[in-house]
Amino acid sequence: MTTKKAKTTAEEFEKAIAEPHPESYTLRLYVAGMTPQSTRAIANIKQICEEHLKGHYTLEVIDIYQQPVLAAGEQIIAAPTLIKKLPLPLRRLIGDLSSTERVLVGLDLRPKKP
């Protein structure tokens, strides 16, 4: 009985390493308080991440009013601004992120249309 469990575990392991895994994404969303635009941006990026990156992303929401030093360090000039830190290249998207297609292109999840 122990042999069967070990075999199952080995098969699961081999299956897991054979399947391609998407890269882990590190995202930072800079917002200016809880304005309607900031709230929409948070909801939109959470929905996009759960649909397209489930389990493969880290999202940090930073209020530039509460943490102005972080915003200055990233040279944030407009809010909301989404920064894709990883995987490289670094990308910045500004706005409420309501255009899913543009966000997916910006995150390198879809190629640009000609």
d(CA 88, CA 43): 24
pLDDT given for residue 104 in this prediction: 96
The class that CATH gives domain 22-106 is: alpha beta
Is the distance from CB of 106 to CB of 90 less than 8 angstroms? no
Is residue 85 over pLDDT 80?
yes
Give the pLDDT confidence of 8-45 residue by residue, as tens digits. Answer: 566 665 554 444 446 899 999 999 999 999 999 999 99
The pTM for the full model equals 0.77
Is the distance from CB of 70 to CB of 62 less than 8 angstroms? yes
d(CA 94, CA 102): 11
Residue with tokens 């706005």: 95
Mean pLDDT over the full length of the chain: 86
pLDDT given for residue 40 in this prediction: 97
What is the pLDDT averaged over residues 53-63?
96
Reference 82, options 37, 36, 31, 40; nearest CA is: 31
Q: Which CA distances in Å does 108 have to 6, 11, 80, 90?
A: 39, 32, 19, 10
d(CA 102, CA 76): 20
